[in-house]
Amino acid sequence: MSTSEIVSTQRRNLPLLATPEAVTGRTYIVTGANTGLGFEAAKHLVALGAGKVILAVRSIEAGERAKDAINKSSGRPGAVEVWHLDLSSFDSVKAFAQRAITELERVDAVIENAAVAMMGPVRAEGHLLSVTVNVLSTFLLAVLLAGKMRESAERSGGGLVRVVIVTSRIGFTAQEEWQRIWEDPLVGIEQDEGLQVKSYHLSKLMEILALKHLATLLPVERTGVVFNLVCPGLCTTELIRNAPPGYKAQVADMHQLYGRTAEDGSRTLLHGAVAGRESHGCLLHSCEIGEQVCHVDIYSKYCADDRIQE
């Protein structure tokens, strides 16, 4: 996407579409909730009356600090729990999912916000870290919790529950690189060292294409689970803390020009957590369905292949 396209969709002061009526008494899981967008989304959920909000974090200490801050701002101690989740470890993802299935009475929405923007050869579970955290573990968690969430939808008398994958339209800037690896992206991105600098961008494009395909395999009419994608736009967070200095400086300038605050950006996550069945399989941004301004041609180009049809 060009800079002008990004700026044109970077509205600020977004609406808070989540309401007490939609949130009160419900249970939410927010990954990467100790800082940035995840923290602000969790804070909103508690303030809106959520019955339970699970802060899924890699650092329990950081999670406890976030919990204390939310308790203080909301005046509702007892709504927040801090659970360990390390998306660089498949075993950690499995253990977290099993705990949620066992201990939680219901799961009304999972906001998968945690991500890394590592642009180098750092690996976890045999893959580049950005791929493992942003794609493989993110979808592993969604799939492992799908059964629990289907039960939650059935027990609510036909209500909807939601899996929200927080992604980025920056993935569309990696279409040329994607053409080099799309037939086997997990292998291709490893073999082409020149793509490592674009691993974050490619991981986001993988998320978008994977979610769109998963949504066809798990139709909301059958499961009661809405799967959608949210691009929060350019927000001032700690996401790029591990990026090269030059790239961080460039993004910092963009933040100054048209970036959203983390609180403003978090409203897009909340929109995904309450959006209706029409959002199933869609990419949302600025608290609305944003398919019309996202490069839908790539969906038809790469999702038309027989190997990835239902």
* Contact predicate 16/43, CB 8 Å: no
Q: Is 108 strand, coil or helix?
A: coil
- Is 5 a residue whose pLDDT tops 80? no
Q: Catalytic residue, from 43, 204, 212, 302: name it.
A: 204
- Amino acid 248: pLDDT: 62
Known catalytic membership, residue 200: yes
Q: Which residues pair with 235 in a beta bridge?
A: 260
* Contact predicate 118/126, CB 8 Å: no
- Amino acid 309: pLDDT: 30
- Is 306 a residue whose pLDDT tops 50? no
Mean pLDDT of 84-109: 98
Which of 118-122, 158-162, 234-238 has the highest mean predicted lDDT (pLDDT)? 158-162
Backbone phi, then psi, for 58, in 5-degree steps?
Answer: -75, -35
**How much of the chain, in percent, has pLDDT values that exceed 90?**
74
What domains are defined for the chain?
Answer: 3-299 (3.40.50.720)
Q: How distant, in Å, are the alpha carbons of 76, 117, 192, 214, 284 from that of 35?
A: 19, 15, 33, 28, 22
pLDDT tens per residue, range 184-228: 999 999 888 888 888 999 999 999 999 999 999 999 999 999 999
Report the distance separating Cα 84 and Cα 87, nearest Å.
10
pTM beyond 0.85, yes or no = yes
Of 212, 236, 218, 217, nearest to 284 by C-alpha is: 212
Residue 20: what residue type? P
Known catalytic membership, residue 302: no
User: Strand 127-128 relative to strand 123-124: parallel, antiparallel, unpaired?
Assistant: antiparallel
Q: Catalytic residue, from 67, 198, 200, 302: name it.
A: 200
* Contact predicate 286/258, CB 8 Å: no
